[in-house]
Every structure is written in structure tokens, then in C-alpha cells.
Structure 1
Amino acid sequence: MGLSLDLAAVISTTLEGIFYGFSVFMFGVTLYILKQNSRRLDRRVNYRMVAVSYALLACSTAHMIIDIIRTSNGLVFKRDTFPGGPVAFFSQPSETTFIAKNIVYLFQTLLGDGVLIYRCYVVWQSWLIVAFPIVMWFWIGIVSAIAIHASATVPAGAGTVFLTSVGQWITAFYASTLATNFLVSMLLAYKIWVTNRRVAHMSEGSLFPVVRVIADAGLLYSAALTAALACFVQKSNGQYIILDIVTPIISITFYMVIIRVGLAATSRSTDHAASTLEFSSQHHARSHSNNTGPRVVTVGDLESQALPMSRLQVHITKMRETDRATIEGEGENDTSSETDRKLSGFEGRGRKGI
């Protein structure tokens, strides 16, 4: 026995509520990360990412509210008045709440895919690379608009989305957005991986964690779309469940990239700051351990530190303590002390680029 539509509505709304709550939590963390990064890098908050975050939250919230209203109408308010009962209510493609939730899903899909394509352009810096994904993005909008219009014009009692002309457009929509998401995610991961290999010998950090973040987000979204497409092709009512949880998943994948990359960057920054502070403390302690003679910072002291630079300029400063006797002695003898001569000799050799 297959999954009934009224039971599918209950399960889908429940699961969507769980994913929605998690997405709201990640939304708050995302705003915090964006604010902290702006402080750490001493620049303005990335208001474009903030705006996208709010837009995705608005879409998820609107979709959640519509599903609550739809479930309440089908199971409570219109249970006895809608022709055919709850099953007929949830199977009607032209029902108002079904059209409304699909419009919200369309907007959120275009927003999420658009941000992914934009990230790809930022990484590649080439319109040629993102030309095909942009064409696919427009195609997704056209196909989904046709599917929504076809759903709205289905006569009452004509059948479900599987038995009408709506099905072919929904299949095309799922396939198109899945292909676009997979292609752009692979382009992003490949470019970052290649860049990391080129600069690996010049940098102490690795970009491989960023590749993993993008791959994980792409795989999560692709898995949800693949499940929805498979259920729809098999004419399973499980596709209604997948459809409802995909909406918060789109937001989650967007937040996940910002959060994980931001936390990784903060961790690297903290580690580097701690290393720098430790080196400064050690150098300060060594410089004050002997107040009667000059302190020379040797090249070995610097080589023991993991400094993130390919070229280091070393400058040696000459330090000398004098007293009244020394000053009077210098008036009689204009020659430098042996220590000064040694220091002068090292200073001449020390001003080299390493």
C-alpha cells in the first residue's frame, strides 16, 4: 500500500518544521559570523550576503506558514466540505495553497542557484565559465513558471500532478536544477583545488577545507533533488515530503558554506595570532635577560617561527649602554669597543633578504 496524501502532508509538514527550526538557528549563526569577519578584517559587513540570508529566511518562513495553513485546511477546516475529502484536497494541483507554496519554492530555488553561480564567477573571474550555468538558471525559471501555470489551470478532479501535463514540466524542473547545482559545485571545487595546488608551496594554509565545504553543501542539495526526482519519476507521494524539506535545505546549504568557511578562517587567524604573540613574548624576555650588553636577534630565531611569508627582511639594530666614565673615555680614545666592532660586522652581513 502506497503512502496516502493526507499522511504525506502530516509527515512533510513535521519534517519541514524540524529543518526550518535548524535553518533559523543557522541563520543567526550566519549573521554572527558575517559580523565577526567584518571586525576581524576591519571592513564593512557584506550586506549582499546579509540580504540573501534574510531573503532565504523569508522564503523558508513563508513556505512553512503556507504548509501549516494547507495541512490545517485539508485535515480540519475543509475535511468535510471539500469534494472527495482530505485525499482529494491534497491531490488537487490547482489548489491555492499548492500554487502558493510552489511559487515560494521557485523564488528560493532561483535565489539559491543564483548565489551559487555568483560564487562560481567570483572564483573563476570569467563570464565564459558561468555562461552555461546562467542559461540553465533562466531555463529553470521558465520551466518552473510553465509548471506553475499548468498546475493552476488543471480542472478540479482531473487528477494528480502525475496524471496531468504538469508532470513533464516538474520533471524538467528537477532535472535542470539538479544538473545546474552539480555542475557549478564541481566548477567551484575544481578551481579552488587547482589554486590550492599552485600556492601550496607559498602558503602555510590549505584551501582543501573550503573544497570540502562546497562539496558537502552541493552533495546535500543534490541528494535532496535526486530523491525528489526519483520519487516523481516513480509516481510516489514521497515526492511531496521531499519537496517540503528541500525549501529549508536550500537555506541550510547557503548558511553552511558561510559558517564553516568563517569558522575555519577565524581558527586560522587565532592560531596565527597566538603564534605571533608567543614569539613576541619570547623575544621580549630574551631581550631583557641581559641588560649589560647588546642583544642581537639572529636568523635562527626567526627560522624557528612559522611565519607566513616567502621573503623576510632582517634588520639588526645596534644597542649600547654607556655611563659617564665611558663618555669621558671616548673623549680620550675615539676607538670603538670590541663588542661594537663585532656587532658592526654582523650588522653588515645581517641586512640581507632571506
Structure 2
Amino acid sequence: MGLPLDLSAVISTTLEGILYGFSIFMFGVTLYILKENSRRAGRDLNYKMVSLSVALLVCSTAHMIIDFVRVCRGLVFERDSYPGGPIAFFAQPSESTFVAKNAVYTIQTLLGDGILIYRCYVVWQSWLIVAFPIVLWFWIGVVGVLCVQSASVVPMGAGTVFLTTVGRWITAFYASTLATNFFVTILLAYKIWTTNRRMARARQGSLLPVVRVVADAGMLYSVTLAAALGCFVQKSNGQYVVLDMVCPIISITFYMVIIRIGLAESQRSTDLGTGSGLSVPHHQPTFSYGGGRIGDPARDQAVPMSRLQVHITKVCETDVATLENEGDTGSETDRDRKMAGLEVRNVV
């Protein structure tokens, strides 16, 4: 026996509410991280990231409100007046709240996937690399519009989304956004991983924590989309549950990248400011005096603090033209040191 539609509506709205509350908390932390990092770096607040954070929160809030209204109408206000009762109410694709929530979901998916593609472009600095994901992104927009349009014209009593023409567009939508997320996440992780190898060879640090952050966010979103696609292909009402969970998860994955990288930067700054950087691992900025590294007891005792010099490696992305203009010596070591950069704050 499958999951009843009225029960799935209650479960999905409850789970969405829990995740939505968590996303609100993460939204607040994200704004705090963005503000503190900009203040610490002495630069203006990243209004682009703030605007995207607010846009995702607005979409999640709108979807949550629509789902709450939908449950109230189906189980309370129109329970006895709607033809066929609550089951028929939640099964009807052209019902106004169902159409509205899918429209909001389409917009939020485009926002989330667009942000991911933008991060990929920032890392690669090549439109050619992101050309295919951009084509997929436009296709997702077209399919999303067709999903909403086809659902809005389904006649009363014609069947559920599994039995109408809406089904094929929903399947295409899930598959397209899953492919986009998976492909772009691999591109991001690969670029950061290869950059990390060059940085390690030049002894400039490690970006493996960034790889883990990107991979974790991509994995969370991909698993949720794969579950939604699997449920829909199997014509399971569980897809309604997963679908309502996707909206707050899109926001959570976006906030998660900013928070984790921001906290890592803040911790490094704190370690350097308090002197705890004397024993930091190799992937963190190191303090050096003369030719030796602070942390060697034999050297530390002989180092006069008034002559202490701090050298902090600045990691940046540099193209070939810039290297030539700066008088690159052409040696492999010099080129690796310059090309191995990736400014983490641009990724978020």
C-alpha cells in the first residue's frame, strides 16, 4: 500500500518546516560571516552574496507559506466541499497551490543552479568550461516553465502528475537539474584539487578543506534530487515529501559553503592574531623569521620579538598574460607558485 496523499502532505510540510527553520538560522549566520569577513579584510560587504542569500530565503519562505495554505485548504477548509475530498485535492495537478509551489520551486532551482555555475566560472575563469552547464541551465528553465504550464491546464479528475503529460516534464526537470549539479560539482572539485596539488608542490598550502566543502554541498543536493527522481519514476507519493524538502535544502547548501569557508578563514585569522599559529599545520599560513620557521624551540628562544617579521602567503588566481607582464622567469617553480592560486572568498 502506497503512502496516502493527505498523509504525505502532512509529512512533507512538517519536514519542510524543520528544514526551513534550520535554513533561517543558517541565513543569519551567513550574513554575520559575510559582514565579519568583509570587516576583517577591510573591504566592502559582498552585496552580491547578500542579495542571493535573501533571494533564496524569500523563495523558501514563499514555498513554505504556500505549502501551509495548501495543507489547511486540503485538510480543513475544503475537506468536505472539494469533489473527492482531501485525496482528490492533493492529487489534482491544476490545483492553484500546487501550480504556485512548483513555480516557486522552479525559480529557486534556477537560482541555486545558477549560483553553482557562477562559482564554477569564478574558479575556472573560462566561459568555455561552463558553456555546457549554461545550456543545461537554460534547458532547466524551459522545462520548468513547461511543467508549470502543463500542470495548470490538467482537467479536473484527469489524474495525478504520474498519469498526465505533466509527468514527462517533471522527469526531465529532475534529470536535468541533477545532471547540472553533478557535472558542475565535479568540475569545481577537480579544479580545486588540481590547484591544491600545484600549491602543495610550491609549498603554499592546501585547499583540500575547500574541496570537502564543495563536495559535501554538492552531495547533499544531488542525493536529494536523486531520491526525488527515483520516487517519481517509481510513481511513489514519496516524491511529494522529497520535493518539499528540496527547497530549503537548496538554500542550506548555499549557506553551508559560505559558513564553513568563512569560519575557516575566521579561525585562521584568530590563530594568527593570538599567536596560536606557531604550531599550525602545513596548509595554514606560517610565520617565519629569517630562514627558519617559528615553532622550532631552538630558534624560538633566540628570536627577539622586536625583530619578528610576519610573512603570510596570499593565494590568488593569475593568468598567463599576467605572468608575462610581471616578468615571469619561465621556471616551473615560479610558474607553479603563481598559477597555483585560488582566492577562497571569490568561490563563495
Q: TM-score, normalised by structure 1?
A: 0.79
Residue 210 of structure 2 corresponds to: 210
Structure 2: distance between partners of 1:200 and 1:278: 20
Deviation at 1:59, TM superposition (A): 0.4
Query: 1:99 corresponds to which letter in structure 2?
Result: V
> More displaced, 116-125 or 267-276?
267-276
2:9 maps to 1:9: yes
Structure 1: distance between partners of 2:187 and 2:148: 30
Identical pairs, percent: 69
Q: How does 1:274-293 map to 2 (within 5 A)?
A: 274-275=274-275
Structure 2: distance between partners of 1:175 and 1:236: 17
Residue 227 of structure 1 corresponds to: 227
Structure 1: distance between partners of 2:145 and 2:4: 27
Structure 2: distance between partners of 1:114 and 1:75: 36
Q: What secondary structure, in the 3-state scheme, does the structure 1 residue paired with 2:129 have?
A: helix
* Residues 1:162 and 1:298: Cα distance change in structure 2 (over 3 Å): closer
Structure 2: distance between partners of 1:157 and 1:46: 50
Structure 1 runs of 4+ off > 2 angstroms? Answer: 201-205, 272-279, 297-310
Residue 140 of structure 1 corresponds to: 140
Residue 180 of structure 1 corresponds to: 180
Residue 265 of structure 2 corresponds to: 265
Q: Deviations over 1:68-106 (max 9, x none)?
A: 000000000000000000000000000000000000000
Q: Tell me, yes or no, if the aligned pair for 2:271 and 2:277 is still in contact at 8 Å.
A: no
Residue 241 of structure 1 corresponds to: 241
Q: Tell me, yes or no, if the aligned pair for 1:202 and 1:309 is still in contact at 8 Å.
A: no
2:185 maps to 1:149: no
Deviation at 1:299, TM superposition (A): 5.3
Structure 2: distance between partners of 1:272 and 1:149: 56
Q: Tell me, yes or no, if the aligned pair for 1:150 and 1:166 is still in contact at 8 Å.
A: yes
Deviation at 1:265, TM superposition (A): 1.1
Q: Tell me, yes or no, if the aligned pair for 2:106 and 2:144 is still in contact at 8 Å.
A: yes
Query: 1:25 corresponds to which letter in structure 2?
Result: F
Q: How does 1:154-165 map to 2 (within 5 A)?
A: 154-165=154-165
Residue 327 of structure 1 corresponds to: none
Residue 75 of structure 1 corresponds to: 75
Structure 1: distance between partners of 2:170 and 2:270: 48
Q: TM-score, normalised by structure 2?
A: 0.81
Deviation at 1:42, TM superposition (A): 0.6
Residue 32 of structure 2 corresponds to: 32
Q: Deviations over 1:128-184 (max 9, x none)?
A: 000000000000000111111110010000000000011000000000000000000
How big is the alpha-carbon RMSD for the aligned residues of Structure 1 and Structure 2?
A: 2.0
Deviation at 1:199, TM superposition (A): 1.2
Q: Tell me, yes or no, if the aligned pair for 1:231 and 1:239 is still in contact at 8 Å.
A: yes
Which structure 1 residue ranges, 5 or more long, are not aligned?
A: 280-296, 311-354
Query: 1:180 corresponds to which letter in structure 2?
Result: T
Deviation at 1:262, TM superposition (A): 0.4
Q: What secondary structure, in the 3-state scheme, does the structure 2 residue paired with 1:129 have?
A: coil
Name the count of aligned residue pairs: 293
Query: 1:222 corresponds to which letter in structure 2?
Result: S
Structure 2: distance between partners of 1:239 and 1:179: 18
Q: What secondary structure, in the 3-state scheme, does the structure 2 residue paired with 1:186 have?
A: helix
Residue 22 of structure 1 corresponds to: 22
Structure 2: distance between partners of 1:268 and 1:3: 49
Deviation at 1:272, TM superposition (A): 2.4
Residue 291 of structure 1 corresponds to: none
Residue 196 of structure 1 corresponds to: 196
Structure 1: distance between partners of 2:277 and 2:123: 33
Deviation at 1:273, TM superposition (A): 2.6
Query: 2:99 corresponds to which letter in structure 1?
Result: I
Deviation at 1:65, TM superposition (A): 0.3
